[in-house]
Structure 1
Amino acid sequence: MELRAFEKEDYNLLISWIDSDKLNYQWGGPNFEFPLDLVQISKHCSQVQVFPFIFVVSGQSAGYVELFKVSESHFRICRVFVSDSFRGKGISKHMLAQLVTLAKEKYSANLLSLAVFEQNIVAKNCYELLGFTVTSHENGSRSFDGEVWDLLRMEKRL
């Protein structure tokens, strides 16, 4: 299991994973329109503060995750995704643990933050197992198809 840089050759894979409007919103928030396409991904990943990765398990691409540079020592974990065939196997915990180590060792981060929809209990529990704590709760900050979603902000000091 390893994180590797997300390359242009991976764009179509990510597009195939994000296969519904709702999933697109859960994954990318209001920053991406469905259907996800090469132009949106290329524009997003070309930003200097975006560090995208693919998580590889037994030679297969299993997930996607980003670090977003907020400041020299603060990075935000964004757009965490595990492909259908790897869900329910604890892959996200391994992927995120490697990302935390990478953020600390390669990018000298001393603070990691993230946002997660409150109803995403599995993700919230995973983040808590990795030492993240809730720092704020935003009621009704996002909505999709008539559903109002609360957002939790979480942090971990390294």
Structure 2
Amino acid sequence: MKLRVFDNADYDTLINWIDSEKLNYQWGGPNFAFPLDHHQLSSHCAKPEVLPFILASGSQRVGYVELFRITESSFRICRVFVSNNFRGQGISKIMLTQLIELSRTRYFATQLSLAVFGHNRVARRCYEALGFKVTSRETGTRSYDGVVWELLRMEKRL
């Protein structure tokens, strides 16, 4: 499996993966309207601070992840997603391990951060296994369908 740059030929795959309003919010937060479309993706990916990647296994696309440049050496990991067909196989850890190495070697990152919803225990365990530590908790800033979702901020020094 290899992480590569996400481009417009990959848009339909991601659009098909994000197949519900709730999943759209979990993946993209308040930044994307459902249904996801080419215009939203191209506008987002055109931003110079957004560095999108797809994880491929041969010709199959299995996951998506972004680096978001905060400063010259600080990046946020965003929008981690694994296709339903590949969940439960450790794909997130493989994808994020490659992303962490890429952030260090290609972009010279010294710090990575991310945010994860508190109820997403599987993702949180994955991030913790990769060395991320919770630095803060936010309550009341995100909600879906009347339910408040706690947001955990995590960081890792490289």
Give the structure-2-normalised TM-score. Answer: 0.99
Q: Distance in 1 between matches of 2:29 and 2:66?
A: 14
Q: Distance in 1 between matches of 2:132 and 2:140?
A: 22
- Aligned counterpart, 1:70: 70
Q: Does 1:143 align with 2:108?
A: no
Once the two structures are superposed, the pairs formed by residues 32-47 of structure 1 within 5 Å of their partners are: 32-47=32-47
Q: Distance in 1 between matches of 2:33 and 2:75?
A: 24
C-alpha deviations, 1:18-75, integer Å up to 9, x for none? 0000000000000000000110000000000000000012431000000000000000
Q: Distance in 2 between matches of 1:57 and 1:118?
A: 30
Q: Distance in 2 between matches of 1:94 and 1:24?
A: 23
> SS state of the match for residue 16, structure 1?
helix
The range that moved more, 53-62 or 120-129, is: 53-62
Runs of 4+ in 1 over 4 A off after TM superposition: none
Q: Distance in 2 between matches of 1:13 and 1:4?
A: 15
Q: Distance in 1 between matches of 2:98 and 2:140?
A: 32
User: Share of identical aligned residues, percent?
Assistant: 64
> SS state of the match for residue 140, structure 1?
coil
Q: Distance in 2 between matches of 1:105 and 1:94?
A: 17
C-alpha deviations, 1:68-123, integer Å up to 9, x for none? 00000000000000000000000000000000000000000000000000000000
Q: Distance in 2 between matches of 1:135 and 1:58?
A: 37
Give the structure-1-normalised TM-score. Answer: 0.99
Once the two structures are superposed, the pairs formed by residues 47-126 of structure 1 within 5 Å of their partners are: 47-126=47-126
Q: Does 1:14 align with 2:14?
A: yes
The range that moved more, 55-64 or 119-128, is: 55-64
- Aligned counterpart, 2:131: 131
Q: Aligned-pair distance for 1:10?
A: 0.5
Q: Aligned-pair distance for 1:140?
A: 2.3
Q: Distance in 2 between matches of 1:112 and 1:14?
A: 24
Task: Please give the root-mean-square deviation of Cα atoms over the aligned residues, in Å.
Answer: 0.6
Structure 2 unaligned regions, length at least 5: none
Structure 1 unaligned regions, length at least 5: none
